[in-house]
Amino acid sequence: MRWVLYPIAALLALVVLGLATLAAITLFAWPNLPSLESLTDYQPRVPLRVYTSDGYLLGEFGEERRDVVRIAEVPALLKHAILAAEDERFYEHAGVDPVGIARAALSNLTTGGRGQGASTITMQVARNFFLTREKTYNRKLYEILLSFKIEHELSKDQILELYINQIYLGQRAYGFAAAARTYYGKTLDELTLPEAAMLAGLPKAPSAFNPVVNPARAALRQQYVLRRMVETGIITPSDFENAIAAATPTRNRRDITAAGKPQESSIHGDYVAEMARQIAVEQFGDKAYELGIRIFTTVTRKDQEAAYAALRKGVMDYDRRHGYRGPEAFAELPPNDAAPEQLDELLAGRSDYDDLLAAVVLQASTKQVTVYRRGEEIEISGNGLRFAAPMLADKAPQTRRIRRGAIVRIRDTGKDGWEISQVPEVQSALVAIDPRDGAVRALVGGFDFNRSKFNHVTQGQRQPGSSFKPFIYSAALERGYGPGHVVDDEPLYFPPGVTGSQAWEPKNYDGRYAGPMTIRDALARSKNMVSIRILQDITPRYAQDYIGRFGFDSAKNPPYLPMALGAGSVTPWELAGGYAVFANGGFRVDPYVVKEIYDGNGKLIARTDPPVASESAPRVLDPRNAWLMDSMLQDVVSRGTAARARSLKRNDLAGKTGTTNDYLDAWFCGYNPDLVAVSWVGFSQPRNLGRGETGGAAALPIWIDYMRTALAGTPEIQRPRPGGLIQIEAGDGSRQDYQYAEYDPPEPPLAPDWLRQMFASDHGPALEAPEEAIPPPPIPAAQAPAPVEDRMPVPIRR
C-alpha cells in the first residue's frame, strides 16, 4: 500500500513546492509591478486633424490613427463581436480565465509548442500598455499579475474601453473607431454585422487578417467570429447565413495610403491640410502629431470641391488639346496568359492619381484594348479609345505605341464607360479668398498632391504677365490719369543706346496696333504699348513703390519698363491679396487659412482675428481709385479678353487675363465683391504651353467653372460710386467717363517729350535722353524665378 502513497505524496510535495515558489515569486514581483497611472489617466496618442470651416475632415497626421470613444458610444453589436472573438467570459473572470489557460496549456503540451496564449482582454491591455509580445513564461507571469492589479483598480467597462481605443488593428489604425473609418469609411454606429465581425477578428493578427492586404484570410476569420457569435447566442443561424451572404467590401488600396496620411475624406484638400500641418508644427513641434490637436481652416467643403473639380477639368482639357504622349512604361509579359500575381506586381509601384488609374495592356488593336487592373480585365473600345487612337495606329512610333505590356492610365467616365487617358505634365493652381478679411475659401496647389507636394499657390514665384497691369493703371490714376484719357497704341522701339544693353522692341500679343485709344479700352484689350507708355510717364520707380500697398514684394518687381508687362515675380497667393483691394473698395487684407485651433480636450487655444475691410483693415487705396479700377476691370469681362466669363450671366464680375512671353504662364485673376479667385496654368519648370494657350484660353475656364459653383444662388452686388469724381467725355469721344475731380481739366502727358520725339520719325535716331529717363534693359523671361518641385515647403504667410 505504501508504494501507492509515495507517488501521491511526491506529487503533493511538488504541488506545494510549486505553489510556494509561485507565491514567493508573486510576493517579490508584486511590489515591482508598474504603476497603473497610464491607465487611470489615459492619454492616447491622437493624431493632428485638419477640418474645413464647416466640419469636414481634410486630413490627419500622425503615426497612429486613433479616434477615442467612450464605452457608452460603442454599439452593443460590436462589443458582442469583440467578446465572442477574444474573451467570451470577460465579465465573469477576475482578469485571468483559468478555463482558457487550462485549454491553452493542454494544447501546447500536446503540440510541443507555445502557440496558444489564452490571453483575456485584460491581459491584452496589460501587454499593450506595459509589456512586449515576447512569448516567455516570465513575461506571461507578469502579464497575469498585472491583469489582477488592473482588475482590482478598474471596472470592467473601463478596461474594455481602454482595449477598444488602444488595440492595433492594421493600416496604422489604433482602436476600433479608427479602424471603422480606415476600412469602411464609417463611424462605429454605422457598422453592419459582417463589418463588425471583420473588425473584431483583427486583434488576433492584424497583418494576417487584414482585409486590404489579405482579403481571403480576413474572410475566414470573419466567418469564425460570426460562428462564435452564434455559439454564444448573440446572433441566430439565420443572421449568420445572411451575414456570410452579404458583401463586405473594404476600401481598396487606392483609398488607404499605407505610409502617409489617410484618404478617408472625400474632400480634396491636401494642400490646405499641409499648410495647416506646417503651422501646427511651428507652434507645437513634433508633439503636434499626438496631442489630438484639431485645426479648423477657413475653406468650405463646397468651395474646395468646386475648386478641385474645376482645376482638374481645366488641366485635363488642356492635356487633351495637346494629344496623347503614349504609355508610361512597358513591361515584358509572357506570350500566353500572365498570372494575376505577376500583373499585380507590375502595377505595385504605380500610384493612382484620383480617377487616373494604372493598368497593364493585355491586348491592343485599333478597335479594342483589353487591360488588367487588380484582378479584373477591362475592355475599352469606341469613344474610350479616341484620345489614344494615334498611338494605336500601325504608323505610331514603336516606343510610344500601345501594345501588350504597356502601362497606361484608364479613367471611368461614368455612362460612357472606361477610356484611356494619361497623367498631365502641366500644373495648375487656384486660390479663392473672401475680400472682406482674406479668409481662404478654396485652395488647390497643384494637379495632384500625391504626385507633387509643391504648393504653386504659396511657393510658385512666376511672372504675372498682363494680370499685373491693373496695379500699374491704378498707380496712373493717382498721377492724374483717368479711364477716358487717350494714349497711343503704336509700336515702340528702344535701341541699345537707350537701354544701355540690347535693343528692346516690345509687341502687342496679336501684333496689331489700334492707334490712339482710351486707357479703359487699352486695359480691356490688354494693349502692351499703352501700358509701357503709361509706366514710362509715371516712372517705374513710382510704380514699384506703389505696388507695395497691395502686398507685393517690391524687390521681386524691379523698376524697369517691363514691369508694365508683368515681368516681375509673384505668387497666386499674393495676386489674390492684391485683387482683394479692388474687390473690397481699397482695403488691404492678407490671405489666411487657419481659423481656429483646439487642443485634445476641445479647448480653444488659438483663433485668427483678421483685419476686416471697412472696419479694422487699413485703407491703402483711394475709394475713387478702387471704384474706377473695378469699372475698368468689369469691361475686361464684358467686352475684353475675358469675355468668355459672360457665360456666368452676372454683371458684377471683374478681372484680368495674363499671358507671359513664349506662353510660359497663363493667368486669370477675377472677382466680385464677395469672392476673389486666381487661377494659373504652367509647367513646374517653365516651358512653352503651346501657341494660343493664353490666360483666356487656359486659365479663365478654370476660374469660370469654379465661380459657377461658388457664386451659385448669390445676388449680384453693384458698388455705389464714391464722391470726388466728375464725369467727362472720354478723350476719343466714344463715351462719358469719370476721373478725379482735382485733375480736371489738365490731362497728364502721354510720355516725356524726348520719348515722343524718338518715335516721331519711324524709329529714327534716338535723341540723347536724361539719365534718369533711360529705361533699363528688359528682364529676360528665362531669368524669372522658377519653382523647384522638391524644395522644402516655405513658411506660410499669415
Domain ranges of the chain: 1-32, 70-255, 325-421, 430-594+613-781
- Identify the DSSP state of 697: I
Tell me if 487 sits within 8 A of 534, measured CB to CB. Answer: yes
Fold of 325-421: OB fold (Dihydrolipoamide Acetyltransferase, E2P) (2.40.50)
Query: pLDDT per residue over 15-72, tens digit each?
Result: 555 555 555 455 545 555 666 665 666 677 889 999 999 999 999 998 888 888 899 9
Query: pLDDT per residue over 205-239, tens digit each?
Result: 888 888 887 888 888 999 999 999 999 999 999 99
Angle between helices 76-86 and 121-130 (to 10 degrees): 90
CA distance 160 to 168: 14
Clarify whether 143 is annotated catalytic: no
pLDDT at 729: 87
Helices assigned H by DSSP within 669-714: 700-710
CA distance 273 to 632: 37
With cell 471596472, the residue in question is 155
Closest CA to 532 of 554, 497, 560: 560
pLDDT at 756: 44
CA distance 203 to 86: 8
Residue tagged active-site, from 53, 265, 466, 679: 466
pLDDT at 143: 76
CATH code of the domain occupying 430-594+613-781 = 3.40.710.10
CA distance 778 to 772: 16
Closest CA to 222 of 246, 195, 241: 195
How far is residue 26 from each of residues 29, 121, 290, measured CA to CA in Å?
A: 5, 21, 36
Half-sphere exposure (Cβ direction) of 757: Cα atoms closer than 13 Å? 8
Please identify every stretch of the chain with a pLDDT value under 50, giving residue numbers as ranges.
24, 28, 114-116, 251-265, 749-798
pLDDT at 770: 30
pLDDT at 387: 97
pLDDT at 50: 96
Q: Give, for 433, the enclosing helix (H) or strand (E).
A: strand 427-433
DSSP helix/strand/coil, 556: helix
CA distance 360 to 374: 10
pTM exceeding 0.85: no
Computed on alpha carbons and rounded to an integer, the radius of gyration of the chain in Å comes to: 35
Query: pLDDT per residue over 245-255, tens digit each?
Result: 885 555 444 34
pLDDT at 154: 85
Instruction: Read off the C-alpha cell for 143.
Output: 502579464
pLDDT at 188: 93
Across 342-373, b (16+ Cβ under 10 Å) vs e yields ebeebbeeeebbbebbbbbbbebeeeebbbbb
Mean pLDDT of the chain, nearest integer = 85
pLDDT at 14: 54
Tell me if 582 sits within 8 A of 628, measured CB to CB. Answer: no
Angle between helices 2-29 and 137-153 (to 10 degrees): 60
With the C-alpha atoms ordered 319, 325, 326, 329, is the resulting torsion angle positive or negative? negative
At 521, the amino acid letter reads D
Residue tagged active-site, from 60, 86, 195, 305: 86
Query: pLDDT per residue over 416-443, tens digit each?
Result: 899 999 999 999 999 999 999 999 999 9
Clarify whether 107 is annotated catalytic: no
With cell 514603336, the residue in question is 398
Fold equal for 325-421 and 430-594+613-781: no
Fold of 70-255: Penicillin binding protein transpeptidase fold (1.10.3810)
CA distance 506 to 490: 11
